[in-house]
A and B are shown apart, each in its own frame.
Chain A
Amino acid sequence: MPFDAANLLPILPEIVVAITASLVLMVDLYLKDEHKGFNHTLAIIGLLVAIGFTGAVGGGAQELFFDGNVVRDAMSDLLKGAVLIISIFAFVYAQPWLKDRGLLLGEYYALGLFAVLGMLVMIDANSFLTLYLGLELLALCFYALVAFDRDSPTGSEAAMKYFVLGALGSGMLLYGVSMIYGATGSIEFGPVAQAIAEQGTKDKVLIFGIAFLVIGIGFKFGAVPFHMWVPDVYEGAPTPVALFLSSAPKIAAFALAVRLLVDAMGGLQADWQGMLAILAVLSMGLGNLVAIAQTNIKRMMAYSAISHVGFIFLGLLAGSSQGYAAAMFYAIVYALTAAGAFGIMTILSRKGFDVENLEDLRGLNDRDGWYAAMMAIMMFSAAGVPPTVGFMAKLLVLEAVVRIDMVWLALVAVFFSIIGAFYYLRVVKLMYFDRPTTDAPILSSGGVRAVMSVNGLTILFLGLFPAALLSLCQGAFA
C-alpha cells in the first residue's frame, strides 16, 4: 500500500512533541550553563503547540491511519489534551527544583518530552504493536528519569526496582499479546475484536491471554498485587519526577486499559470483569490501609495512588459506556490532583532540603496560606469530599457500579474511602492545626504560583461545574 501523506495529519501533536524533543537535544549542546532555562521554555512552547494541534486535528468520528495501526477518536483527543496539559504542570513545577540542584539540563526535558510522546502513542494505538511501542518509550524514559539525580543512591535503587518490575510487567503483557495473536491471528484491535466475536469466547488460549494482559495492566497501573514498585519508586525518585510519574502516565495507563480491554477484548468482558473486581477491591483495601501507617509523604501518596487505581478499575469493570466515561473522568481528575499535591511538595523543597516526611508540611498555613489552601483542596479532593471534583469522580464511578447491580462493590468502595479520609485529613491537620517548626521562607516565582492556583482552582471549579468535562468523557464512549 503506498504511503499517504494524509496519514500524518492526525498525528501532528506527536510529530510536534518529537520535533521539540529532538530540538531540545540539539539546542542543549550549544547552550551555556546559565542559559539552560531555554530548554524549559522550548519544551513548554512545544507542548502548547501540541495542544493547539490536538484541538485543530481533533473532533469528528473515529478514523484509522497507518493501515489501521493508529486511531484518532474522541477519546484520544481528550486524553491527549489532558496528558499534554498535565505535563505542562509537571514541567513548570519541576523547573525551580531542578535549577536549585544544578540539574536543569537538556536531558531532563528531552527524556520528559519523549515520555510524553510515548504516552501519546499509547493513546493513539490501535494495534498491539503500536501500543507496546508507546508503552516502552514511556517506560524507558522514566527509568532514566527516576535515576536522573545520579548522585542519589535511593534514586538509583528506585530506578533499578522500577526497571526490573517494569520489564516483568511488559513481559507479561507481551506474553498475553502473543497468545491472543495466536488465537485470533491479528495484532490490530479491530480484527481481534471481530475474531473474538466470530469464534466465541470459549477458547482457553484467549482466556490465558487476557489474564496476562490484565496482569500487565495491573503492573503498569500499580494495582495490588502488582504494586510493589510504586512506593519505592515514588520515594526514591526526585520529587519532580515522582510528580510527573504519578500524574500523566495514569491517564496513559487508562488509555492502555481501554484500548486493550474494551477495543480489542470487549467480547471477553465477562472474563476480565471479575479479574478487575478482585484487583479493585485489593487495591482500595491495601492502598488505603497501608497509607495510614506512612510517615513519608511520598510513600503515602504512592499508597493513595494505589487506592485510586482501584476506583478507576471500578468504572472500567462496569463495562458500560457510562462506566468507561466515569473511569476516564476519574483518571483525569486523579492526575490533576496528584500533580497538584506533588507540585506543592516540589515547591516547598529548597536547595538541600526535600519535602520527604509529613512533618515537613507542619504549619504550612502560617508560612504560606495560599499554598496551604491549595494543598487542602487537593487532599479533600483525593478524599472525595465535596465541593471538590474528587467527590464527583467517586460519585460517577459508584453510579456505574450500582447501575450494573454490584451494590456490594459500591459499599466496599465507600467503606475504604472512609478509611482513606483519615490520612488525607492528617495532612490538613498538620498544615492548619500545628505551628511551623521552621520559618524558612517559601521561595516561588509568580509563574509557579499562578500555575498552582490554576491547578487547585480547576479542581474546585470542576467540582462545582462538572458537566462540561463529563459530557466530553461521555462523548468519547457514545
Chain B
Amino acid sequence: MESVFPLLTLVIWLPILGGMVVLASGDRDSNLSKWLALGTAVLTFLVSLGLWIGFDSGTADMQFVERGAWIPTFNVWYFLGVDGISMPLIVLTTFITIFVVVAGWDVITYRPSQYMAAFLIMEGLMVGVFSALDAILFYVFWEAMLIPMFIIIGVWGGPNRVYATIKFFLYTFFGSVFMLVALIYMYFQADSFSILDFHELELGMSAQVLIFVAFLLAFAVKVPMFPVHTWLPDAHVEAPTGGSVILAAIMLKIGGYGFLRFSLPITPDASASLDWLIIALSLIAVVYIGFVALVQQDMKKLIAYSSIAHMGFVTLGFFILFALLRHSGESTGAVMGIEGGMIQMISHGFISAALFLCVGVLYDRMHSRQIADYGGVINTMPWFGGFMVFFAMSNAGLPGTSGFVGEFMVILAAFRADFWFAFLAATTLVLAAAFTLWMVKRVIYGEVKNEKVAALADLDKREVFNLGALAAVVLLFGLWPAPLVDVMHKSVEHLVAQVSVCKLPAAESADCLLARPAPVAFLAP
C-alpha cells in the first residue's frame, strides 16, 4: 500500500531542514532561533499526529509506505513505512522533542541555535530509524544519530563531558558496526536490503546465531542491557538536561525497537535457543541494577540506573514469549508480554523524560545534582514537589499511572512462563519504590536543609507547562491505555505469529524448537 502523500518523509525531513534553518539563523538574535526551533518542533508533532489519525489499527501491514530508488545498483531503496510498533514511538519522539526545546529555552546560553538545531536534526534522524524499512537506510539513520548526540553531550555537558561523550560514541559505534556486517551478509542471502525480505529469509542455525549475536551487540548497547550499560550513567550525568531526556526517552527505545524489528523476526530460532541469555541479563538488570540505583548519591545517576532496570523489564517482556510458547503453546501470553514491553517503553519515555526535567529544574537553580545537597525542597517549591512526587510514584509503578500498566502486563506474562521469572521481575516493584521514594524523601521532604534551598523559587510557567503536560499524559495512559494497546495489537499479533514459526531450512528442520512451518497447501486450480 503506497502512500499518496509523503507524510513520513515530511516528519523526517521537516525537523532536519528546520534544524538547518535554525543553525543558519545564528545567535545574533537568540529569540529568533528559539522560536524557529519551537515552531519546527510543534509543527513536526502536529504533522506526526497525522500518522496516528490516519493509522489503520485493523491490519499488521506496513502503512504510509514510501518507496523510491536510492542506490539502484545495490538494490538499496528509500523505503519507509510504519506499523503499530513503530508508529507510537515516532509520535513519542516528536512529542518529547517539544519539551526538550522548551527546557533549553533560558538555560542554554552558549550557542543556543546550535543546541536547538542539534536536537531538531536528532529528532528527524530518530524518526528515520523508526520508519526505515530498508536496512541500509536504517543503518544510516542509526549511525547518523550518534553525531548530534556526541556534540550535544560534548559541548553542553558537565565537567567530565569529553570522557562521557567519547565513551558513548565508541560504545554505540562498536555495537553497530557488527550489525552492518550482518546486514550485508543477509543482503547476499536475500538479494535485497528490505527488512521485510529479511523477515522471510530462511537461515541456517549457525548463521542465525551469528546474526543474532551481531544484532545483540548493537541493540544491547543501545538499550542498554547488563553488562554493556556502563556508558549510560556517564552519558546521563554529563549530558545537559535535554540530552538526558532524549537519551532516556527515545534513544534507549531504539534498542528495544531493534529487537522487535530485527532480532525476533529475522532470527527466531536463534532467539528461541538463546532466550535464556536475554532473560537472565534482563533479570540481572532488574534486580542488580535496582540495588545499584539504591546507593546512588547523584540524582541523575539514580534515574539512569532506574532506566536500565526498567529497560530490563522491556527486554524481559520481549523474550519471555519463547518460554510461553514452549510452556503452553498458546500465544495470548506472548502477545501480552510484548505489548507490556512496548507500553513500558512508551511510558518510560514520558516518566524518565519528566524525571530528568525535574532534576534539570533543581540543577538550574542550585547547580548540584547531589542528593545530599537538598532536603525540604517542598517547603520552598510546593508545585515542584507535587510534580516530583507524582513522577516518582509513577516511576515506581503506582497503579493509575502509565508506569503500572506495562510492568503489570510483563509480570503477568512472566508468571505464565515461570513463577521464578515473575518473582524476580516483581522485586522491581519493591526496589523501584525503594530507590525513587527514598530519593524523594531525602530531596523533597524533611526540614529545609540549607539557605540555598530556602532561597529556591518555585516553577516558572515554562517548567509548569513541561511537567504538567507530561503528568497529564502519564495519567491518561495509566487510566486508559486502551488506545495504545489497540494501535499495536495487530502488529504484535503478527510479530508473534511470525516468531513462532521455525525458519531453519528443510535440512535442519530436526533442530526446530519452534513450530515447523505448515506445508504449503495446493490450491484447486
Residues of A within 8 A of B (CB): 380, 385-387, 391, 395-396, 398-399, 402-403, 407, 410-411, 414-415, 417-418, 421-422, 425-426, 428-429, 432-433, 465-467, 470-471, 474
Contact residue among A395, A425, A429, A474 (Cβ-Cβ distance under 8 Å from B180): A395
Kindly state the separation between the CA atoms of A411 and B211 in the bound complex, as whole angstroms.
13
Tell me which residues from 125 to 163 in chain B have a Cβ below 8 Å from any Cβ of chain A.
136, 139-141, 143-144, 146-147, 150-151, 154-155, 161-162
Kindly state the separation between the CA atoms of A421 and B176 in the bound complex, as whole angstroms.
13
Kindly state the separation between the CA atoms of A470 and B484 in the bound complex, as whole angstroms.
44
Among B166-174, B439-447, B454-462, B474-482, the stretch in contact with A: B166-174
Residue pair A385, B181 in contact (C-beta under 8 Å): no
Smallest Cβ-Cβ distance to A421: which chain B residue = B173
Tell me which residues from 54 to 96 in chain B have a Cβ below 8 Å from any Cβ of chain A.
69-74
Among B184-192, B282-290, B350-358, the stretch in contact with A: B184-192
The distance from the CB of A460 to the nearest CB of chain B, in whole angstroms, is 11
Residue pair A395, B177 in contact (C-beta under 8 Å): no
Contact residue among A395, A425, A428, A470 (Cβ-Cβ distance under 8 Å from B73): A470
Residue pair A403, B188 in contact (C-beta under 8 Å): yes
The distance from the CB of A180 to the nearest CB of chain B, in whole angstroms, is 34
Contact residue among B70, B144, B151, B187 (Cβ-Cβ distance under 8 Å from A399): B187
The reply on B52 being an interface residue by CB < 8 A is no
The distance from the CB of B172 to the nearest CB of chain A, in whole angstroms, is 10
The reply on B390 being an interface residue by CB < 8 A is no
Kindly state the separation between the CA atoms of A410 and B178 in the bound complex, as whole angstroms.
9
Residue pair A402, B184 in contact (C-beta under 8 Å): yes
Kindly state the separation between the CA atoms of A186 and B140 in the bound complex, as whole angstroms.
48
Residue pair B150, A425 in contact (C-beta under 8 Å): yes
Kindly state the separation between the CA atoms of A422 and B185 in the bound complex, as whole angstroms.
26
Kindly state the separation between the CA atoms of A401 and B136 in the bound complex, as whole angstroms.
17
Smallest Cβ-Cβ distance to B185: which chain A residue = A402
Residues of A within 8 A of B71 (CB): 466-467, 470
Contact residue among B162, B169, B178 (Cβ-Cβ distance under 8 Å from A414): B178
Q: Name, among A391, A395, A396, the residue most crowded by chain B CB atoms within 10 Å (CB to CB).
A: A395
Residues of B within 8 A of A474 (CB): 73
Kindly state the separation between the CA atoms of A391 and B183 in the bound complex, as whole angstroms.
14
Residue pair B188, A433 in contact (C-beta under 8 Å): no
Residue pair A410, B169 in contact (C-beta under 8 Å): no
14 A–B pairs (Cβ distance < 8 Å), ordered by A: A385-B173, A395-B184, A410-B184, A414-B180, A414-B181, A421-B169, A421-B173, A428-B150, A428-B151, A433-B155, A465-B70, A470-B71, A470-B73, A471-B72
Residue pair B173, A418 in contact (C-beta under 8 Å): yes
Kindly state the separation between the CA atoms of A277 and B139 in the bound complex, as whole angstroms.
27
Given the interface contacts A395-B136, A433-B154, A470-B73, does A380 sit within 8 Å of B181 by beta carbon?
Answer: no
Residues of B within 8 A of A466 (CB): 71
Kindly state the separation between the CA atoms of A286 and B169 in the bound complex, as whole angstroms.
22
Given the interface contacts A414-B180, A418-B174, A433-B162, does A385 sit within 8 Å of B73 by beta carbon?
Answer: no
Given contacts A467-B69, A467-B71, 7 further A-B contacts (CB under 8 A): A385-B173, A386-B140, A425-B150, A429-B162, A467-B70, A470-B74, A474-B73
The distance from the CB of B161 to the nearest CB of chain A, in whole angstroms, is 7
The distance from the CB of B123 to the nearest CB of chain A, in whole angstroms, is 15
Kindly state the separation between the CA atoms of A35 and B28 in the bound complex, as whole angstroms.
41
Residues of A within 8 A of B150 (CB): 425, 428
Residues of B within 8 A of A396 (CB): 74
Residues of A within 8 A of B70 (CB): 465, 467
Residue pair B166, A422 in contact (C-beta under 8 Å): yes
Which 7 pairs, one residue from A and one from B, show the smallest C-beta to C-beta distance?
A: A414-B177, A386-B140, A433-B154, A402-B184, A386-B143, A386-B144, A467-B71
